[in-house]
């Protein structure tokens, strides 16, 4: 099979004697076949057959991904957030989206209680540190943290003021662990 050739699901690309099945391929009765439409490549370093997709492909979470998540509930030692978007991808996340963020992973300093840093309804940017058996997030970086928060009194947008956040509607002041670009990220871009 020549490289860079376009293949469709089910097309034979190689054999098990020759290569290992890599991304976008599967092995069946000693034959490696494509599992998606794309172009055939060989990863010479690992001797793997791969199919580089030509279509968009489902988004699967990986360790190290930077994601946007919606905070659902804040517990005494962790928060639970739903992963809603993976940066750089324009498709919804496939599979499990329930992430947890432990207190110790919130910031570099000591955090006693997660409720001083995050509140339900916040949209946070976080890093995926574990995918299996469950999704674990971390926000230990200055571009990670809250990117949009709502006032806990009137549910209007909070705006950055001095070192904290202030409600544009009622003037209520709150504190969050904010990302450097708090309020500047366009959520409609997703």
Q: Is 67 in the site for other proteins (CB under 8 A)?
A: no
Q: In the bound complex, what is the minimum distance in angstroms from residue 133's beta carbon to other proteins? A: 11
Q: How far is CA 85 from the centre of its chain?
A: 6
Asked whether the beta carbons of 152 and 119 are under 8 A apart, the reply is yes
Q: In the bound complex, what is the minimum distance in angstroms from residue 43's beta carbon to other proteins? A: 18
Question: Distances in Å between the alpha carbon of 122 and those of 143, 156, 165, 180?
Answer: 15, 12, 13, 15
Q: Measured from the CB atom, is 38 or 145 closer to other proteins? A: 38
- Applying CB under 8 A, the span of 5-13, 103-111, 118-126, 174-182 interacting with other proteins comes to 5-13
Q: What letter does residue 14 receive in the DSSP assignment?
A: E
- Applying CB under 8 A, the span of 31-39, 146-154, 167-175, 177-185 interacting with other proteins comes to 31-39
Q: Is 57 in the site for other proteins (CB under 8 A)?
A: yes
Contact letters for other proteins, residues 116-155 (x by CB under 8 A): ----------------------------------------
For residues 146-170, one letter each, b for 16 or more C-beta atoms within 10 angstroms of the residue's C-beta and e for the rest, the string is bbbbbbeeeeeebeeeeeebbbeee
Pick from 35, 100, 107, 130 the residue near other proteins by CB under 8 A. Answer: 35
Query: Cβ contacts of residue 49 below 8 Å, gap of 6+?
Result: 13, 14, 18, 19, 20, 21, 22, 25, 32, 40, 41, 42, 43
For residues 78-117, which are near other proteins according to CB under 8 A? Answer: 91-97
Q: Measured from the CB atom, is 15 or 116 closer to other proteins? A: 15
Residue 21, classified by CB atoms within 10 Å of its CB into exposed (0-12), middle (13-18) or buried (19+), is buried
Q: How far is CA 154 from the centre of its chain?
A: 29
Site size toward other proteins, by CB under 8 A: 25
Residues that bind other proteins (CB under 8 A): 6, 8-10, 24, 26, 28, 33, 35-37, 39, 53-58, 91-97
């Amino acid at each position: 099979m020549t490289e860079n050739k376009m293949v469709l699901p089910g097309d034979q690309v190689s054999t098990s004697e020759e290569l290992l099945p890599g991304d976008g391929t599967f092995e069946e009765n000693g034959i490696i076949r494509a599992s998606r439409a794309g172009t055939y490549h060989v990863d010479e370093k690992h001797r793997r057959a791969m199919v580089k997709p030509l279509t968009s492909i489902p988004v699967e979470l990986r360790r190290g991904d930077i994601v946007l998540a919606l905070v659902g509930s804040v517990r005494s030692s962790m928060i639970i957030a739903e992963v809603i978007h993976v940066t750089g991808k324009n498709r919804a996340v496939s599979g499990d989206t329930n992430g947890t963020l432990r207190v110790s992973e919130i910031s570099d300093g000591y955090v006693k209680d997660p409720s001083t840093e995050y509140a339900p309804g916040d949209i946070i940017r976080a890093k995926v540190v574990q995918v299996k058996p469950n999704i674990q997030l971390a926000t230990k970086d200055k571009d990670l943290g809250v990117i949009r928060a709502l006032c806990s009194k009137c549910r209007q947008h909070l705006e950055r003021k001095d070192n904290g956040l202030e409600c544009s509607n009622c003037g209520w002041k709150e504190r969050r662990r904010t990302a450097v670009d708090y309020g500047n990220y366009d959520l409609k871009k997703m």
